[in-house]
Chains A and B, each alone.
Chain A
Amino acid sequence: MNFRVIAKYMGRILQLEGIFMTPAILVALIYKETGTIIPFIATIMLCELLGYLLAKVKQNDEGIYAKEGYISVALGWIILSLFGCLPFYFSGYIPNFIDALFETVSGFTTTGSSILTDVEALANSMLYWRSFTHWLGGMGVLVFLMAVVPMSNTKGGGEGLQLMRAESPGPTVGKMTPTLKDTARVLYTIYFAMTVILFVALVIAGMPVFDSITTAFGTAGTGGFGIKGNSMDGYSNLIQFIVAIGMMAFGINFSIYYLVIMKKLNEAFSNEELKCYLGIIAVATILIFFNIKHIYDNSGVALLDSFFSVSSIITTTGFATANFDMWPQLSRFILVAIMISGASAGSTGGGVKVSRLMILLKTIKREIQSVIRPRAVKTVMMDGKPINEAVIRNTLSYFAVYWFIAIGSMFLLFALDGFDTETTVTSVMACINNIGPGLNMVGPVGNFSMFSPVSKLLLSLNMLIGRLEIWPMLLLFSPSVYKNTTKR
């Protein structure tokens, strides 16, 4: 294990975090929140100092292989969260360190679950930083690092791919351009441009500027931290509609936008995952609409609410315009089902990912056929291309491990706090899929404050496992990784 290179990456991540924290001071100055300036400055100085020292660790020529990549990503996210929560803790807005950590992990992993009972009591600079963690966590920190810093320290430069694979969601991660740096830049440029477009649209629709910034961050990262107690309920229908479309857009694989920019429209629109993703949204919206229509006076609002909720849950954002916890059982169940499906691979959303589910279904179909015709040879196809057997194997084990972790966490949560089934099950599902709200006590109007500290740490871990798609976090805890016997 090459600990030196990991230390270097950790240093770079901390330095970057410090830089990204500085705009919060500006917000504090604008709103004259003198009490929050010192905590931010203290945290930034801590990040820069420690980051500088770590980045200076002398490198050897051992290079970076897959395991170093995975460990760097897992450790990087933990460090990011540990330092990211300090402003909340130092300023006293969240006096309990574990609560502050939970809130920050929830931010970076774009979950959006909160332990705050009264969001509106938070200072604007804190709200800004809390929402910004969504934006940074959405596309990934190491991807950003790759776009700005030359990461390669060996001649080939292929090792960056390990980092990107560990951090980017989806069963397969491909490069859009020959060099990783360009790919990372393309991703962040699209991401940035779409965020700006959303922000401008929100301002035009009449949302206050500060609300627009934080909402744009929350939507772009598919995070879901609101700055109002009632999330998006208080805004006009137009704003709600824009946010719903925005969430849907950020749940689409970013390489599709790249294809559109490159004018390869046919390829972009014939993407199977895209069709499936949009199909699920349409069907779920229609089903919920007919299920909840009778509660509403105005069926237009009912349609908007069902579309908004579906878009918010499937992209794992977690904004709410209506308390869907009060909806009929069928609608509640549909929402839990699309929680698991999640958004598209290569988007900022979480969950299992539509493409994984498609691979699973196609593999099941093949298994059934192989029972009927044991000698038949059939490749699983996606977008007209065969799927590599290694990807299929990875997807199957991913799904299995996903459920093991989810059920194990639920078991622990029952043992620790003993809340009712709906609360416990949906809180784990909301965390591991990076959604935010669940049902019952953790529903759109509830929050996670009543969990015990150990449960909060467990749920934080679930969020990280969900965001980094299991393997990096699992590797971090497997002892065999640290033995210095194997390379590659």
Chain B
Amino acid sequence: MKVVVVGGGKVGQLLTQLLVEEDHDVVAIDNREDILELIQTNYDVAVVHGNGATVEVQTEAGVGESDLLIAATSSDEVNLLCCVVANMLGATHTVARVRNPEYDHQIEFLRQKLGMDIALNPEKATAREVFRMLQYPSFLKRDSFAQGRVELVEIKIPDDSALVGKKLMESKDILRVNALICVVDRDGDVFIPDGHFVLQAGDRIMVAAEGAKLINLMRSLKLTKKPIRDVMVVGGGHISRYLAQLLEKSRVNVTIIEQDRAKCEELSTELPKATIIHGNGTDQELLLSEGIRDMDAVITLTGMDEENMIISMFANSLDVPKTVTKINRTEYINVLTKAGIDTTVSPKLLVANEIMRYVRTIYHDESELYCSLSGKVETLYRLANGKAEALGFTVPVDGNYLGKTLMELKLKPNVLIASIIRNYEVIIPKGSDCLMPGDSIVVVTTSDQAIIKLSDIFASEI
């Protein structure tokens, strides 16, 4: 598929990388030549120098013949104009990043009138993600498959957990829910465990379970923390605003700490129920006096990664049950988990992933029939910092693996079928289950495996 990416900033570069990794033809547009040079030496893409909202530059980049244009410059207006021009030139799909809350209310109107496919708001998406994390505070991460019917959640095994020292095949009695431990991340080493794998305290495990059973899973793992009632948000930017709106709706008490007096006033008119504190969020005394000790969760959303990290570490040291840290430099996430900062959000990663999800849907819409016939990968999620992957397939009608039980079918090492969705019903597979044509299945594997189609997951020709 041919994709044009306008804007070579953080999100633009990340998107370029992800698109190239999935074998799309990418043309990057930016008005800074040094950035283009950097992109060109890092990724196998073509670059065009100039203002991406002009007809000349878009024509040079071949927007008219391309399947998708993604406008991710720092300016909303330029992004919108990019999409308008691209539509006129004949691009099949267009995506714009629109972040100003003032446009947020009219986003549906803009989408329809300007013929855009989607408009993405990184701040809003981040707020939603944080909110999702707060719903189940014991999960470090949640990914949904098959419209939320299957959830893949990440859990850190506490020292006193019943799972410590148990083999996986014994875990069924402890979990008591139909769930499957698919990935284990032990200090950065990622395993796809088999039944004999022994769990340790501190392992981060990814568990596939039916979406509706998540509560039960938490209960049996004794992970139920008391529901979140009081939240402190440090930093009063767009994300905080969206987040506070969501939290207010579910009757959570929100305290926002913001340095800028004018911003505080704005916030207080928009969020009448929230407590708005004017002050420096890195000031320990202030945090303590505002009752950080008694908070159920602390969310750090200032513009500085370093400040966010320090505040979160401080909150951790005070045993605040849940901290969420906003990080822009995702390269360092590995180091952060070692420092005890477990739950992080990154607007750039969220937006890039959301766009990639969209790219895959339009890519597969065009080749959907082809996919379900050939059993090629339909969806792809990265797990454990990209060291593992969850892949979605539709089982084709003519595979020689059909009708055999999973026990009879030998899978490649480090490959696992995490779930089967058959007629809107979720099956967490056991050895006695088998694949049927039309099933949607989720396969978990380490990312060094080259799996392109469903038949690649089996050890040998059957």
Contact = CB atoms under 8 A, between A and B. Distances in A.
A161 B41 contact: yes
B373 interface: no
B20 A157 contact: yes
A164 to B, nearest CB: 11
B117 interface: no
A178 B46 contact: yes
Nearest to B19: A178
Contact of B46 (A66, A156, A175): A175
A196 B235 CA distance: 68
Given A156-B20, A178-B46, A388-B33, A162 B27 contact: no
A155 B46 contact: no
Given A177-B25, A178-B25, A179-B25, A156 B44 contact: yes
Given A157-B20, A178-B27, A179-B25, A152 B33 contact: no
Contacts of A174: 46
Interface string A385-426: 100100000000000000000000000000000000000000
A156 B33 contact: no
B198 interface: no
A158 interface: yes
Contacts of A179: 25, 44-45
Q: Which label, helix, strand, loop or mixed, suits the secondary structure of the A interface?
A: loop
Contacts of B44: 152, 156-158, 160-161, 178-181
A135 B25 CA distance: 30
Interface string A135-160: 00000000000000000100111111
A123 B297 CA distance: 85
Interface residues of A, number: 21
Contacts of B160: none
Nearest to A154: B42
Contacts of B17: 155-156
Contact of A178 (B21, B26, B41, B42): B26
A126 B243 CA distance: 77
Nearest to A66: B41
Contacts of B20: 155-157
Contacts of B21: 155-156
A388 B40 CA distance: 15
Contacts of B26: 178
B114 to A, nearest CB: 26
B358 interface: no
A162 B25 CA distance: 19
B253 to A, nearest CB: 45
Task: Choose among B2, B27, B46 the residue with the greatest number of A CB atoms under 10 Å from its CB.
Answer: B46
A177 B46 contact: yes
Contact of B42 (A158, A177, A385): A158
B116 to A, nearest CB: 23
A158 B41 contact: yes
B43 A157 contact: yes
Interface in A49-100: 66
A267 B267 CA distance: 54
Contacts of A162: 41
Contacts of A388: 33
Given A155-B21, A158-B40, A158-B43, A178 B2 contact: yes
Interface centre among A152, A177, A178 (most CB of B within 10 A): A178
B3 to A, nearest CB: 9
A428 B21 CA distance: 47
Interface string B321-341: 000000000000000000000
Contacts of A159: 41
A178 B26 CA distance: 6
Interface in B1-30: 2, 17, 20-21, 25-27
Interface in A166-180: 174-180
A177 B46 CA distance: 6
Contact of A156 (B2, B25, B43): B43
Contacts of A158: 39-45
Nearest to B66: A178
Contacts of A180: 44
A86 to B, nearest CB: 35
Contacts of A156: 17, 20-21, 42-44
A263 B185 CA distance: 54
A264 B337 CA distance: 53
A385 B39 CA distance: 20
A291 to B, nearest CB: 44
A415 to B, nearest CB: 42
A40 B420 CA distance: 60
A203 B320 CA distance: 86
B188 to A, nearest CB: 16
A200 B39 CA distance: 43
Most chain-A Cβ atoms within 10 A of its Cβ — which of B27, B39, B45?
Answer: B45
B109 to A, nearest CB: 34
A159 B44 CA distance: 8
A66 B38 CA distance: 12
Interface string B35-53: 0000111111110010000
B46 A161 contact: no
B54 to A, nearest CB: 13
Contacts of A181: 44
A252 to B, nearest CB: 21
Contacts of A157: 20, 43-44
Nearest to A175: B46
A178 B2 CA distance: 9
B31 to A, nearest CB: 12
A156 B45 CA distance: 9
Nearest to B23: A179
Interface in A311-362: none
A467 B20 CA distance: 32
B64 to A, nearest CB: 12
A162 B20 CA distance: 18
Interface in A4-60: none
Contact of A161 (B2, B33, B40, B49): B40
Interface in B103-154: none
Contacts of B33: 388
Interface in B446-460: none
A161 B37 CA distance: 11
Chain B CB count within 10 A is highest, among A156, A160, A181, A388, for A156
B22 to A, nearest CB: 10
A187 to B, nearest CB: 14
Given A178-B27, A179-B25, 14 more contacts: A157-B20, A157-B44, A158-B40, A158-B44, A158-B45, A159-B41, A161-B40, A175-B46, A176-B46, A177-B46, A178-B2, A179-B45, A181-B44, A385-B49
25 contacts: A152-B44, A155-B20, A155-B21, A156-B20, A156-B21, A156-B43, A157-B20, A157-B43, A158-B42, A158-B43, A158-B44, A158-B45, A159-B41, A160-B44, A162-B41, A175-B40, A175-B46, A176-B46, A177-B25, A177-B46, A178-B25, A178-B46, A179-B44, A180-B44, A182-B25
Interface of B: 2, 17, 20-21, 25-27, 33, 39-46, 49
Interface of A: 66, 152, 155-162, 174-182, 385, 388
Question: Ordered nearest first, which 6 A-B pairs have the shortest CB separation?
Answer: A157-B44, A178-B25, A156-B43, A178-B46, A158-B42, A158-B43
